[in-house]
Amino acid sequence: MPEMNNTSGQYRGKGGLPKVVVIGAGFAGLWLTKKLSGKPLEVVLVDKTNYHTFLPLLYQAAAAEVEPESIAYPIRSIIRKMPNVRFIMADIKEINYEERLVIANDITIDYDFLVIAIGSATQFFDTPGTEEYAFQLKNLEHAIMLRSQILRCFEKAMVEKNDDARRKYLTFTVIGGGATGVEFAGALAELIYGPLKKDFPSIDFQEVKIYLIEAASGVLLTYPNHLREYTVNSLRQMGVNVILETFVTHITVETVHLKDKGVIPTETVVWTAGVRGAPIAEKWGLPITRSGRIEVLQTLQLEKYSEIYVIGDLAAVMANDNKHHLPMLAPVATQQGSWAATNILRQINKKPPLPFKYLDKGTMVTIGRKKAIAMVGKRTFNGFIAWVMWLFIHLYNLIGFKNRLMVLVNWANDYIFYEKSIRLILPYKRSSIIKKQLLEQLLKEEKK
Ligand SMILES: Cc1cc2nc3c(=O)[nH]c(=O)nc-3n(C[C@H](O)[C@H](O)[C@H](O)COP(=O)(O)OP(=O)(O)OC[C@H]3O[C@@H](n4cnc5c(N)ncnc54)[C@H](O)[C@@H]3O)c2cc1C
């Protein structure tokens, strides 16, 4: 049933106002919505979840450092004071460009302007076994699952008498030396060699192994050499085995296979080696790049449909130097959100949309307690200063006072007492993995 179906050529919003439908309440969609709040148009914000996730702290939720709820914020609370904005929770499956409709299982919504801001997904590069067996770190559910897996492995290891099986539980392999891989490996080392060492006194921590595997000759390739070396040295001091120039050929439910470098038996593999545009966009018949992003004009519009904007991780937008696409980063998404909002208002006022220009305010990566790196223009920082900068910027950008307070309390608890307060193992579904595990077990038993 169409929510509204007026194809008369008039604007379709309430009282004949232009109606803007925004798919995705991530950084891009939310910043666009904020900018259109109070303007003479109707905004319908659609997301498949009812909360906005602050993804830069996701790895901390996975490493039991912050509570998952403290990095998520209900969308309805965010829009409460925006009279011209409505929220609909729906998983959009199709777009009808001719009739100007977006379609979910149980609702169809018409639009005058459409903004597609559905973000990105893990890129597995067709590496066999990864999609089935590796943990990902792209949404809150992934983080809760990974946290439960880590804690479950320690509980299992404590009672496991077989040496090989126990070491497998105590081996954690992170694949991909980008920002997420580095941040998670560091946080994992702090969790394991901090509170878990106190919680499991009977476990021999010499048996614990944390690997960070990267195919390139260094981690964090977009940073200068000295910061990359600082990162690798810091991780090694923290107990992470950083293995560079090593290609993962495939993984199974209990092993990681390295090209010419043997096999790592492990129960926990975290794949952070790639990111691509959200796969559903491929089904929407739009021009897609090799990295699964949608090609857009510099104005952030689609070439074929001037009423449709694509922003955030999903959009392949040229950087100011016109040589490469902008990276998938939160500031790129928020700036594109604000820019697309301005362009929509310009279109309504019969003015031409303007080409997007990205203002790079710098990038940073945290490695662990008092250890981070930052690059602001040509200036670089590392160690304590970069770490303090990182703490302030992330706290400042979190949505909601209560969330900031919760994160601050968790960080203080961690900093002062070397404690992580959230160590619950919640039930988690790895149905495909569990199914395969059972199948492999059955096959093994049959062979015997
Ligand atoms: C673990 C991790 C750490 C990161 N750390 C940093 C960092 O330190 N600094 C930084 O700048 N960037 C970081 N990023 C990247 C940053 O989070 C992204 O660039 C940013 O979130 C992109 O914003 P977006 O709005 O395009 O997508 P997202 O924020 O991913 O939002 C997409 C939204 O679309 C919704 N959606 C998806 N499909 C549908 C559908 N079919 N129907 C309805 N809704 C849908 C989703 O539920 C989601 O709410 C990190 C990302 C991750 C995963």
The answer to the question of residue 301 being in a domain is yes
Residue percentage of the chain with pLDDT more than 90: 81
Q: Is the same domain home to 296 and 242?
A: no
Q: Using the predicted structure, report yes or no on whether residue 4 has a pLDDT greater than 80.
A: no
* 29 Cβ contact list (under 8 Å, min separation 6): 22, 23, 45, 47, 115, 117, 311, 312, 337
Indicate whether residue 184 lines ligand 1 (CB < 6 A). Answer: no
Q: Is the same domain home to 140 and 253?
A: yes
444 vs 180, higher pLDDT: 180
The answer to the question of residue 85 being in a domain is no
Output the CA 55–ligand 1 centroid distance in Å. 6
Q: Is the same domain home to 332 and 370?
A: no
Q: By three-state DSSP, how is residue 336 classified?
A: helix
Q: Using the predicted structure, report yes or no on whether residue 440 has a pLDDT greater than 70.
A: no
Domains in the chain, number: 2
Indicate whether residue 23 lines ligand 1 (CB < 6 A). Answer: yes
The answer to the question of residue 302 being in a domain is yes
Average pLDDT of span 172-195 = 97
Output the CA 291–ligand 1 centroid distance in Å. 16
Q: Using the predicted structure, report yes or no on whether residue 246 has a pLDDT greater than 80.
A: yes
The answer to the question of residue 79 being in a domain is no
Domain boundary (348, 376, 409) is at: 348
Q: Best of 32, 47, 55 to mutate for ligand 1, by most ligand atoms within 8 A of CB?
A: 55
206's tokens: 């010499």
Q: Residue 138 CA: which ligand 1 atom is closest?
A: 53
User: What distances in angstroms separate CA 117 from CA 21, 83, 153, 311, 332, one per listed residue?
Assistant: 11, 22, 36, 5, 12
Closest Cα to residue 28, out of 278, 272, 221?
A: 278
Q: Using the predicted structure, report yes or no on whether residue 194 has a pLDDT greater than 70.
A: yes
Q: Is the same domain home to 260 and 192?
A: yes
Q: Using the predicted structure, report yes or no on whether residue 113 has a pLDDT greater than 80.
A: yes
Other CB atoms within a 10 A radius of the CB of residue 326 amount to 21
Tens-digit pLDDT profile for residues 262-320: 999 999 999 999 999 999 999 999 999 999 999 999 999 999 999 999 999 999 999 98
Q: Is the same domain home to 243 and 105?
A: no
What phi and psi, each to the nearest 5 degrees, are found at residue 52? -95, 135
At 1 the pLDDT is 38
Indicate whether residue 183 lines ligand 1 (CB < 6 A). Answer: no
Output the CA 62–ligand 1 centroid distance in Å. 16
Q: Using the predicted structure, report yes or no on whether residue 363 has a pLDDT greater than 60.
A: yes
* Sheet order of strands, 240-243 included: 240-243, 209-213, 171-175, 268-271
Indicate whether residue 293 lines ligand 1 (CB < 6 A). Answer: no
Average pLDDT of span 182-210 = 96
The answer to the question of residue 334 being in a domain is yes
At 439 the pLDDT is 59
Q: Is the same domain home to 227 and 183?
A: yes
Spatial contact of 147 and 191, defined as CB atoms under 8 Å apart: no
Q: What is the CATH number of the domain that holds 106?
A: 3.50.50.60
Tens-digit pLDDT profile for residues 80-96: 999 999 999 999 999 99
With b meaning 16 or more CB within 10 Å and e meaning fewer, what string describes 367-400? bbbebbbbbeeeebbbeeebbebbbeebeeebbb
On average, the pLDDT of the chain sits at: 92
Q: Is the same domain home to 222 and 341?
A: no
Q: Residue 119 CA: which ligand 1 atom is closest?
A: 27
At 6 the pLDDT is 42
Q: By three-state DSSP, how is residue 383 classified?
A: coil
At 425 the pLDDT is 81
The answer to the question of residue 357 being in a domain is no
Output the CA 274–ligand 1 centroid distance in Å. 14
Q: Is the same domain home to 289 and 431?
A: no
At 144 the pLDDT is 93
Q: Is the same domain home to 23 and 107?
A: yes
The answer to the question of residue 358 being in a domain is no
Tens-digit pLDDT profile for residues 367-422: 999 999 999 999 999 999 999 999 989 888 887 777 888 888 887 777 777 776 67
Going by alpha carbons, the residue nearest to atom 53 of ligand 1 is 138
**Parent domain of 398:** 130-273+363-438
The answer to the question of residue 159 being in a domain is yes
Q: What is the CATH number of the domain that holds 375?
A: 3.50.50.100
Tens-digit pLDDT profile for residues 125-147: 999 999 999 999 999 999 999 99
Q: Give rounded-to-5 percent helix, strand, coil for the chain.
A: 40, 25, 40
Q: Is the same domain home to 157 and 260?
A: yes
> Residue 255 — left, alpha, or beta (φ > 0 → left; ψ -120 to 50 → alpha)?
beta
Q: Is the same domain home to 98 and 208?
A: no
Q: Is the same domain home to 156 and 291?
A: no
Q: Using the predicted structure, report yes or no on whether residue 332 has a pLDDT greater than 60.
A: yes
Count how many Cα atoms sit within 13 Å of the Cα of residue 96 in the half-sphere of its side chain. Answer: 14
